[in-house]
Every structure is written in C-alpha cells, then in structure tokens.
Amino acid sequence: MTVKEYKAGEIIIAEGTYGTQTFLIREGRVMICKETGGTRRIPIAVLTDGEVFGEMYLFDDTGFRTASVVAQTAVTVEIIPKEEMDQYLATTPPIVVSMIKTLSARLAQTSQENSILKYRSHGFLKRLLGKFH
C-alpha cells in the first residue's frame, strides 16, 4: 500500500474519472460530494479516520467514479490498488459480491437523486428568498 497526504481543499477523487484505487483514511476528514457543473458541490457524506472511500468503482460496470472526494482537513490515506482489491473480492462468495453490486448501484442512484433534489431546492429557495430582499 502507498501512503499519500492531501491538504485541506484538495480534490482526492474527481467525479466521472475512471477508478483504479480505493482509499483508507488514516487521519483527517473528507467530504463526498456531487458536482453541479458549476463551482458549487452538493455534500453527500463526511468520512473520517478508519473509513474507506473510492470503492464503488469496483462494483459499477463502467468503473467510473460516481462522486468527488475533497479533503476537508489535512488528510493521510492508504491507497489500495485495484489489483489488491480484486484479490480480496476473488475470495468473497459470489452471492456476497452480487449483493454488494446491487447495494452499490442502489446507493449510487439514491445519491444522484438526492443531489438533484438538493440542487433544485437550493435554487428554488434562493429565488424565493430573493423576492423578499
């Protein structure tokens, strides 16, 4: 495993890029977010020490990242290459891998729908509040 450090504000994973690594947070905090196409990001989750991110590409047929990950603080991560993750999955019963793939797809869809709703409601609220100023 490789260890890498990121500064607060650095993009660790960019949404839409091809996945080849999984990350384990040794120290620090990251934000998982959806990109809006502008300068705004919609937060999905915050992860910290001991948590894993960047694994969903393993269970998506396209292999592309479904969200961005940004360091909120200085972050130290262990980088686990796809080949090593594939070895772990090879020892996992096929039914469990199938369940993980299904859960991963449902989570990706729910996250996408949730971020669309947040983005739309934010724009609506901004327009609504603008009428009162």
The predicted pLDDT at position 3 comes to: 97
Q: Rounded to an integer, what distance in angstroms lies between the CA atom of residue 106 and that of residue 104?
A: 5
The predicted pLDDT at position 104 comes to: 80
pLDDT tier at 111, thresholds 50, 70, 90: low
Q: Which residue has the higher pLDDT, 6 or 38?
A: 6
Domain spans in the chain, listed from the N-terminal domain onward: 2-130
* Contact of 92 with 64, CB cutoff 8 Å: no
Q: Which residue has the higher pLDDT, 5 or 60?
A: 5
Question: Please, which residues have CB within 8 angstroms of residue 94's CB and are 6 or more apart in sequence?
Answer: none
Q: Which CATH number fits domain 2-130: 2.60.40.60, 3.40.640.10, 2.60.120.10, 3.10.450.40?
A: 2.60.120.10
pLDDT beyond 60 at 133: no
pLDDT tens digits, one per residue of 7-26: 999 999 999 899 999 999 99
pLDDT beyond 70 at 95: yes
Note the pTM of the prediction, 2 decimals: 0.76
Closest CA to 100 of 112, 91, 92, 111: 92
pLDDT tens digits, one per residue of 67-77: 899 999 999 99
Integer angstrom CA distances of residue 86 from 17, 20, 38, 116, 126: 19, 11, 35, 32, 45
Provide the mean pLDDT of the chain: 85
The predicted pLDDT at position 57 comes to: 84
